[in-house]
């Protein structure tokens, strides 16, 4: 195959470079402009830098547990209808389930009783106030000063009772407003319907529904959980010896349908799971479009701790000739100089060189195999 490719270059050579029997590289490989265009030869700048070895892993998408909302009912009762299923997308304010709320029934009875008690306390206070006014008008005549003081004491007691009854009504009203009607529940003090509806307080995905129709509910129950998926976890489980080379803050690259996702490793567990013997590595990734769904399995790479310094170039720029690594340095639009290089690390995408190249030089990236084929063709002709 390489001979066929190399033969395609004969028409594009200005001069065929000599390739010595002792493996000496030609000083220059020359192509005419048409051959450069036809082969799509591109160049890139060699840069001084560092490259970390990477660990390929299989990762899975999980909800960020710090962004999962657990929903509890305000009252006790019996489930009438479950309106969603686990795994379903949900919008803020959307209903999760309805239940017959026994606590709401009791609270409404209490509200009626407390309102009646408040009205009675207000009436008693008004009567006491009227008695004090009359006593003041007749004090020292038909009503004694002692009687006036007694009536004033009765008014103060009636005031205290009225305030206590008002506080009871306000407290129960607060419960209606903040418990039976909240970001996660809709009940209501108006009307006689004793059905309450649990609602989602956020946009996200239903993670769990922990009850069913006709099930009993209590305020302590974790009835449903909703995950906010605007940010998710990419979780990888790796062997402990591999985890020793990974550190929080290192880079993770996850291959998603929309393209590579570059994120920061947030957590490397200090201990292996007793069930799997593996160490969990977590990276948090923004998910504004919701494309990452819990349960997805994705390929990823984790950057390892010890990076390698040198000259960084694309991996495709490196070609092998007689067991040696070479790159092609651009001299001008048609002339390229082959250079032997010492490859310290190659991850398949980028490579680090220990020697043979200087930072700032222009090396051929795409099309380097075509130039190698020209050298190979020259070697066959020399034979």
Whole-angstrom Cα distance, residue 16 to residue 274?
Answer: 65
User: Residue 77's beta-bridge partner residues?
Assistant: 101, 217
* pLDDT one-digit tens code per residue, 343-382: 998 888 889 999 999 999 999 999 898 888 888 765 545 4
* pLDDT one-digit tens code per residue, 110-143: 888 999 999 999 999 999 999 999 888 887 778 8
Is 55-66+228-303 CATH 2.40.30.170?
A: yes
228, 290 contact by CB (below 8 A): no
**pLDDT on residue 284:** 95
**pLDDT on residue 103:** 83
Q: Which of 206, 193, 219 is nearest to 82 (CA)?
A: 206
**pLDDT on residue 218:** 94
Mean pLDDT of the chain: 87
pLDDT band at 236 (very low <50, low <70, confident <90, very high): very high
Q: Which of 317, 307, 319 is nearest to 344 (CA)?
A: 307
- Token pair listed for 190: 């108006």
More confident residue, 323 or 20: 323
- Residue 338, pLDDT above cutoff 90: yes
Is 2-52+308-382 CATH 3.40.50.720?
A: no
- Residue 318, pLDDT above cutoff 50: yes
What does residue 3 show for φ and ψ, rounded to 5 degrees? -65, -40
**pLDDT on residue 198:** 95
* pLDDT one-digit tens code per residue, 52-106: 888 999 999 999 999 999 999 988 999 999 999 999 999 999 999 999 998 877 8
**pLDDT on residue 106:** 82
Task: Check if 2-52+308-382 and 55-66+228-303 are the same fold.
Answer: no
For 297, the 3-state DSSP assignment is strand
Percent of the chain with pLDDT over 90: 62
Whole-angstrom Cα distance, residue 221 to residue 244?
Answer: 41
Annotated domain spans of the chain: 2-52+308-382, 55-66+228-303, 73-221
- DSSP state letters, 182-250: BTTEE--SSSS--EEEEE-SSSEEEEEE---TT-EE-TT---EEEE-TTEEEEEEEE-HHHHTT--TT-
Q: How many CB atoms lie within 10 A of CB 361?
A: 18
- DSSP state letters, 113-175: HHHHHHHHHHHHHHHHHHHHHHHHHHBTTTB-HHHHHHHHHHHHHHHHHHHHHHHHHHHHHHH
CA distances to 63, 258, 314, 334, 369 from 286, rounded to whole Å, are 11, 13, 28, 46, 39
What does residue 229 show for φ and ψ, rounded to 5 degrees? -100, 15
**pLDDT on residue 94:** 96
User: Residue 89's beta-bridge partner residues?
Assistant: 205
- Residue 194, pLDDT above cutoff 70: yes
CA distances to 129, 132, 141 from 138, rounded to whole Å, are 15, 10, 5
**pLDDT on residue 10:** 41
Residues 6+ apart with CB under 8 A from 375: 17, 19, 25, 26, 29, 321, 338
Strands 279-286 and 231-238: antiparallel
Whole-angstrom Cα distance, residue 179 to residue 87?
Answer: 27
């Amino acid at each position: 195959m390489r001979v066929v490719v190399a033969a395609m270059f004969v028409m594009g050579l200005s001069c065929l470079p000599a390739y010595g029997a002792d493996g000496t590289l030609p000083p220059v490989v020359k192509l005419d402009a048409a051959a450069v265009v036809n082969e799509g030869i591109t160049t890139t700048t060699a840069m001084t830098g560092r490259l970390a070895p990477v660990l390929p892993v299989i990762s899975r998408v999980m909800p960020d547990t710090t962004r999962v909302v657990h929903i509890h009912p305000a009252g006790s009762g019996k489930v009438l209808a479950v309106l969603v299923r686990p795994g379903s997308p949900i919008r803020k304010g959307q209903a999760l389930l309805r239940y017959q709320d026994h606590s709401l029934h009791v609270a409404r009875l209490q509200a009626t009783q407390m309102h009646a008690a408040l009205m009675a306390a207000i009436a008693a206070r008004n009567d006491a106030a009227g008695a004090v006014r009359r006593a003041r008008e007749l004090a020292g005549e038909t009503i004694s000063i002692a009687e006036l003081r007694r009536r004033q004491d009765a008014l103060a007691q009636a005031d205290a009772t009225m305030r206590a009854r008002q506080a009871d009504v306000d407290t129960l009203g607060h419960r209606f407003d903040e418990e039976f009607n909240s970001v996660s529940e809709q009940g209501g003090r108006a009307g006689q319907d004793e059905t309450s509806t649990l609602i989602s307080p956020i946009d996200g995905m239903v993670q769990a529904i922990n009850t069913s129709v006709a099930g009993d509910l209590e305020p302590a129950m974790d009835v449903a959980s909703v995950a906010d998926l605007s940010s998710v976890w990419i979780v990888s489980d790796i062997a402990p010896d591999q985890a020793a080379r990974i550190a929080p803050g290192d880079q993770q690259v996850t291959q998603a349908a929309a393209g590579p996702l570059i994120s920061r490793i947030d957590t490397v567990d200090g201990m292996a799971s007793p069930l799997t013997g593996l160490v969990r590595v977590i990276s948090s990734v923004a998910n504004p479009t919701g494309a990452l769904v819990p349960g997805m399995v994705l390929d990823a790479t984790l950057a390892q701790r010890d990076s390698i310094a040198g000259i960084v170039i694309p991996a495709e720029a490196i070609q092998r000739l007689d067991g040696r690594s070479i790159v092609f340095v651009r001299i001008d639009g048609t002339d390229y100089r082959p250079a032997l290089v010492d490859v310290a690390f190659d991850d398949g995408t980028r490579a680090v060189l220990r020697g043979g190249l200087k930072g700032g030089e222009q090396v051929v990236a795409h099309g380097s195999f075509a130039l190698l084929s020209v050298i190979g063709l020259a070697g066959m002709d020399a034979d």
